[in-house]
Structure 1
């Protein structure tokens, strides 16, 4: 969904200004959560833990690339 489409949907619902920003942030959080959940569901058997207690995942997995993109968009 493009930014213009999201804006038009929010306008139709009467959401403007900071409410629209909060709605967008909420949408991005839900999308990121779904992406990470799919990653865990799909690869739980093959994930490894490093010595610091973090999960090590291949960076080229589609779910990882999607999560990175969502995080980069959210940081702007």
Structure 2
């Protein structure tokens, strides 16, 4: 049984509908969907900043937040 949630994320200015596990990190969601090549995975510990994305006008490290937090 899957606990996947339906999410709508804004990626490169466009709404993208996807499914994600409740505790799935944002860094993994776009990369696992067709046609989306970023953000990049660097250290996976939030030190390098390779995973930095813009969320509501703020720079956040996608390896440290859940995909559900980026809903909308």
TM-score (norm 2): 0.25
Indicate the structure with greater strand content: 2
Structure showing greater radius of gyration is 1
Greater relative contact order structure (CA < 8 Å, 6+ sep): 2
TM-score (norm 1): 0.25
